[in-house]
Amino acid sequence: MTDFGVTPDGFVLKPVDVILSESLERARAVFDNVDLSSTSPLRKILETTAAEDGELWKRMEDLYYANFVSTASGDNLDLLGEDVGLARPQLAGTGTVHITLGGSPAQGRRYVVPEGTILVTAAPVRTFGTTATVTLDAATARTADVGVVAFEPGPGGDVPVGAIAGIDPAYSAVFLADFGAATLTVTNPAATSGGTATVPDDVYRARLAGLARNLWTVESVTQAALGVSGVLDVVLSDPLGGVDVSQSYFGTFTFDQRAFSAEARRVGEPYFFDVVVAHDVRAPWRTIGSVQGVFERVRAAVDLVRPVGIHPNIVEADHIEVGARAILVVEPGSDGAALLASIRQRLATDIGSLRLGGDVLYSQVVRAFVEQPGAVDVQQLHLRRNPPAFGRITFGAVTNQSTVVETPVGENLAMGRNELAIFPTREGALDIALVTP
């Protein structure tokens, strides 16, 4: 068996020096007293062809590893996704809108436009959500710029200048009803973009690696729910079991360990399992105006893969806002505002990668502080946990809290199975005192 090429250990690349040495041996076998010194014309020719053959070996290596999800990339990964029916997801269009407070606003009142405010275009309607909270008043802040992101990914989220016409009337009637005589004017001074882009290879590869190849299983239901735009994570809970061992045709439906057996439920009674969904806080849970809610979209997706007679109970997860209080020692002359902005960005990225039930580690937060340029040390670091935003359901030991909880120095923030830690973009999440040595 060859030592190079396709082997039991994978593809072994043949080095250029081996290719050249084999070429020199063949030349010696064909020609008598051949000159293969470093200045020989024949050697120069063989070195050139060996370099070209080395590139061919690299191409063959790429072709070999392009056959596997774990190693393919780019177009090759797209082809593997097409084979299993999962195309590479597109990203959502993003941009900036200009909000103006008009009408007859009350003097001394602050008008708050919350994060996730639904903005719409003229027909055909495209919907966007704001990415931050905006506060306006009649005296000093009548206008503000805020980022927006399309609720649905794809090129439909790329709209031209001035296409975003205002706030969705149904959303405004519910959440902005107390504005009175004050009005809001919204427009986008620049076109939104990004809807034609697709997710990177590592994200797409993870989706393909976890793709369920069967129906009526935990994996297929989870996959269907995760495929809904705006869903961040999903946890399934089946309190009564899994496969009904007395019914062979249910043999591929395994939710937990116990069976859908006779003692678990009576024949003819409906059976429910819980699908706990953590979603982007900007995406509405229930349908509002022209934006279909996460609840309705997840239910529709799960209905396609659930077992007959077994119904999903779609539950909103608890989104737990976390923060920190600490003393940060910085180098003299450091830009404190820029340093804190970098820390916020790092924490938003690190905590945003957690899944349902994932604890916020003290060491992870410490690294977010001390790895910033200009940071010398972080002292008296306390992690903070805000009360649950929704409190719809409880699995296991979940803290019942109504006020902010602050942990002692060195302790992690524990999350329940139905809780997702999020780092808010609003001010006040960090209470940091900057000092110099």
Query: Domain for residue 196, yes or no?
Result: no
Rounded-to-integer distance, Cα 285 and Cα 228, Å: 12
pLDDT value of position 223: 86
Q: What is the pTM assigned to this prediction?
A: 0.71
Average pLDDT over residues 22-34: 88
Same domain flag for 424 and 331: yes
Same domain flag for 426 and 358: yes
Query: Domain for residue 200, yes or no?
Result: no
Higher pLDDT, 4 or 159: 159
Residue 26 pLDDT exceeds 70: yes
pLDDT value of position 419: 87
Confidence grade of residue 85 (pLDDT, cut at 50, 70, 90): confident
Confidence grade of residue 254 (pLDDT, cut at 50, 70, 90): very low
- CA of 334: how far to CAs of 51, 69, 168, 341, 345, in Å? 51, 45, 44, 13, 18
Rounded-to-integer distance, Cα 233 and Cα 278, Å: 5
Out of 72-81, 251-260, 276-285, 319-328, least confident range:
251-260
pLDDT value of position 144: 93
pLDDT in tens, 109-164: 999 999 889 999 988 899 999 998 899 998 888 999 999 999 999 999 999 999 99
Out of 21-30, 91-100, 206-215, 359-368, least confident range:
206-215
User: HEC states along the chain?
Assistant: CCCCEEECCEEECCCHHHHHHHHHHHHHHHCCCCCCCCCCHHHHHHHHHHHHHHHHHHHHHHHHHCCCCCCCCHHHHHHHHHHCCCCCCECCCEEEEEEEEEECCCCCCEEEECCCCEEEECCCCCEEEECCCEEEECCCECEEEEEEEECCCCHHHCCCCCCEEEECHHHHHHHCHHHCCEEEEEECCCCCECCCCECCHHHHHHHHHCCCCCCCCHHHHHHHHHCCCCEEEEEEECCCCCCCCCCHHHCCCCCCCCCCCCCCCCCCCCEEEEEEEEECCCCCCCCECCECCHHHHHHHHHHCCCCCCEEEEEEECEEEEEEEEEEEEECCCCCHHHHHHHHHHHHHHHHHCCCCCCCECHHHHHHHHHCCCCEEEEEEEEEEECCCCCCCCCCCCCCCCCCCEECCCCCCECCCCCEEEECCCCCCCEEEEEECC
Residue 252 pLDDT exceeds 60: no
pLDDT in tens, 382-391: 998 886 655 4
Rounded-to-integer distance, Cα 298 and Cα 302, Å: 6
Q: Which of 267, 284, 316 is the last residue of a domain?
A: 316
Confidence grade of residue 250 (pLDDT, cut at 50, 70, 90): very low
Query: Domain for residue 199, yes or no?
Result: no
pLDDT in tens, 182-223: 999 999 999 999 999 999 999 899 888 878 777 777 788 888
Same domain flag for 311 and 332: no
Query: Domain for residue 428, yes or no?
Result: yes
- Residue 368's closest CA among 349, 395, 352? 349
Strand 127-130 to 118-121 pairing: antiparallel
The domain containing residue 107 runs over which residues? Answer: 94-187
Query: Domain for residue 83, yes or no?
Result: no
Same domain flag for 280 and 362: no
Same domain flag for 324 and 310: no
Query: Domain for residue 195, yes or no?
Result: no
Average pLDDT over residues 159-176: 91
Query: Domain for residue 292, yes or no?
Result: yes
Rounded-to-integer distance, Cα 188 and Cα 95, Å: 8
Same domain flag for 375 and 429: yes
pLDDT in tens, 285-315: 999 988 999 999 999 999 888 877 778 889 8
Same domain flag for 365 and 287: no
Q: Which of 316, 336, 357 is the last residue of a domain?
A: 316
Residue 104 pLDDT exceeds 50: yes
Domain count for the chain, please give it. 4
pLDDT value of position 424: 83
Q: Which of 281, 299, 316 is the last residue of a domain?
A: 316
- 58-71 exposure pattern, b = at least 16 Cβ within 10 A, e = fewer: eebbeeeebeebeb
Same domain flag for 329 and 414: yes
Same domain flag for 139 and 41: no
Same domain flag for 164 and 216: no
Query: Domain for residue 379, yes or no?
Result: yes
Average pLDDT over residues 78-84: 90
* Cβ atoms of 161 and 189 closer than 8 Å: yes
Same domain flag for 130 and 38: no
pLDDT value of position 51: 92
Same domain flag for 43 and 103: no
- Residue 284's closest CA among 174, 146, 419, 166? 174
